[in-house]
Structures are given as structure tokens and as C-alpha cells.
Amino acid sequence: MNGLGGFHEERFVSRVEGKLDALLSRGHGKLDEAARHICLAPKAKRARPRLCYLFGQALGVDSPLLEDVAVTVELIHTASLLHDDVIDEGDVRRGFPTVNAKWDNLVAVLTGDLMLSGALLQLEKHPVPVIMGAARVVYQMTRAAMFEADSRGNLDLTLEEWESIATGKTGVLFGWCGEAAGHLAERPDMAEKFSRCGHLLGVAFQMADDLLDLKGGAAKDPFADISNRNPSYPLLRAIQISPSLGADLKAAWAKDELTPEEVRKLGHAVLETGVAGLTMQVLSEKIAEAIDCLGDYREAPGGSDIVGWARALWGSLSSDPMPV
């Protein structure tokens, strides 16, 4: 989504970042310092604020109204990262020390709480459906985080349960970007359709991230989900194809620690099932369904940029044209 909307999108993102800067400079001491450390990091892509802009552009929503929504969505997203790093005991994010590593868990948790409350306060003057939608997002993301933590190491997780986690982790926030734009445009019909579009894009985004783990790349070591005992979508599909692989993975995950060689062998065994191609097929179906939710807006400014971003998500994983 980065840059797809052109000059006006970049100006919008710049204004959102200015509001974030001001909001996180209100004399809260180390909480502000920690919030700025993660929220204003130079490598932040602002995918969710950009999505707010594009949905709003499609419906002709005024930028000042969208800016509050974009600030809210970025604060909610960043708060979830703070809490995730505490749960995962992460040390590095976006090439910088995590807040829990630089300070401690107390600062990380309270900074996340401060950002969540600040996110909702941004919507004080907005329509009730927008405010309630944001509150539901926080509720659903919290439940999904707990479900994900409880599912660590569980290869009996169903694909439906995986999708429930992906929807809660990513889809509901993407969906709210479209839902809020619809309500601000006084188009409840499009709020529902754009919400569905965002949900599907969020699940596709998570599926692509899981697949990237198998492929590796400049920003990600291959097979981290295996070493971290994360039941990703490709792993769950692979053990459906090969029950013996499932038995091998369960035995490996029962150990206290896996060697790099064990992880590598298991990773290649997963790839040999052909699961990468199957995952790409499902990914293309999610993207196609998301594009359908845009209706005639897929050809409009904003909507066409969302289509472009969705196709680029496919293109980041395959040199073949997307079959939609």
C-alpha cells in the first residue's frame, strides 16, 4: 500500500504522524518515551492508516475525519505489538530493541494500555457506530491474542480456528478501517461491505506472512514458525496432506529444544508436501473475495489502490500472475 495512493496519500500519512507525535508528547514521562520509541520508529510502514485513507477516498470522506480514525488504528495496532512482545519475550522489533527489552514488562504493558485508551479518546466526537466499532476491535484482538497464546505448540488446531485467530489478530483492525470510512460517509451499506473486505485482506495478509516464513527472505529467517512451535496455516495444511509429517512435528515439538538441523529438515519436509502452492491458491481466493466486496469502487480512486495492494501481496510471493 506504500505509495500507491500517490502524493495525497503521503501528505495524509505525514499529518497522521504529526498527530501521533503530538499525542505522545503530553508529559507522561517514560510512558511517552516508550510509546514514541515504538510508534514513531523510522521503519513503520503505516499500512493501516493508509488503508483508512484509501477506503475513505473511495467514499469521498473528508481527510480530517479520517485522520482521527487513522491515528486510532495505528495506536491500537502499536499497543498490540507492545503486548505481543511481552507475551513472546521479544527483544527486537523493526531492527530496534523492544520496549520490554529497553525498559521492562511493566513499562511495556502500561504503555500499551495508555495507547489503547488514547486511541479511543481520539474518537470522542465521532459517530457512535465508529466508537463502538473500535471498542469491539480491541475486545476481539485481546481474545485472539489469548487464543493464539493457548494454541502455541498445538498441531490439532483446526484451519477454522487458525482463521479465527488471523481474523482477530489482523482482520478485525483492517476491517474497521473500511467500516469506519463507511459510517463517516453515512453509507452503512458500504460500512458492512468494506468491513468484510478488510477482514479478508487481513486474513490474506496473515496467510502471506505464514507462507513467507517457509520461503525466508531478507527480513525473515526460514522456518521460524517450526522452531517457535507456531501452528501456522501452511504447517496445519501440510500435516493434513502427510500424517507422518504431523507425527514427526509433534515429536519434535515435545522436545525442550530443536537443533537448527532438525528445524531445517522439518521445514523442507513441509515444503515437499506442496503446501506452498495450496496456500497460494487459498490466498488468491481470499484476495478475490476481498476485491469483490469493493463492488464498483474497485475501479474508483482509493478502491483501485486497494486492489493494487492486494495484488502486490500476491506478487511478493510469486512471479506468476494472480488467477483472479
What is the residue type of 248?
D
* Closest listed residue to residue 153, CA positions, set 274, 279, 282, 258: 258
For β-strands 92-93 and 96-97, DSSP reports them as antiparallel
Is the domain of 101 the same as that of 135?
no
> Which has the minimum average pLDDT: 2-6, 112-116, 123-127, 131-135?
2-6
Using the predicted structure, report yes or no on whether residue 178 has a pLDDT greater than 70: yes
Is the domain of 84 the same as that of 200?
no
3-state secondary structure of 41: coil
Spatial separation of the C-alpha atoms in residues 23 and 13, rounded to whole Å = 15
Grid cell at residue 256? 525442550
Backbone angles phi, psi at 93, to 5 degrees: -140, 130
- Final residue before a domain boundary, out of 98, 125, 152: 125
pLDDT digits (tens, 9 = 90+) for 31-61: 999 999 999 988 788 999 999 999 999 999 9
Spatial separation of the C-alpha atoms in residues 180 and 156, rounded to whole Å = 36
Unique residue bearing C-alpha cell 501440510? 238
Using the predicted structure, report yes or no on whether residue 186 has a pLDDT greater than 70: yes
Name the pLDDT band for 2 (thresholds 50, 70, 90): very low
pLDDT at 3: 43
> Which has the minimum average pLDDT: 3-12, 58-67, 88-97?
3-12
Contact 115, 172 (CB under 8 A): no
Q: Domain total for the chain?
A: 2
Is the domain of 226 the same as that of 120?
no
Is the domain of 29 the same as that of 80?
yes
Spatial separation of the C-alpha atoms in residues 237 and 68, rounded to whole Å = 40
Domain that holds residue 147: 127-324
Name the pLDDT band for 307 (thresholds 50, 70, 90): very high
Is the domain of 50 the same as that of 67?
yes
Is the domain of 192 the same as that of 297?
yes
Is the domain of 154 the same as that of 271?
yes
Using the predicted structure, report yes or no on whether residue 74 has a pLDDT greater than 80: yes
Spatial separation of the C-alpha atoms in residues 223 and 215, rounded to whole Å = 8
> Which has the minimum average pLDDT: 5-19, 99-113, 184-198?
5-19
What's the mean per-residue pLDDT of the chain?
92
- Final residue before a domain boundary, out of 125, 141, 174: 125
> Which has the minimum average pLDDT: 62-66, 150-154, 161-165?
62-66
Contact 178, 200 (CB under 8 A): no
Look up the pTM and report it.
0.92
Domain containing residue 54: CATH number: 1.10.600.10
Is the domain of 148 the same as that of 69?
no
Is the domain of 74 the same as that of 177?
no
What is the residue type of 305?
D
Q: What is the mean pLDDT of residues 220-234?
A: 90
- Final residue before a domain boundary, out of 65, 99, 125: 125
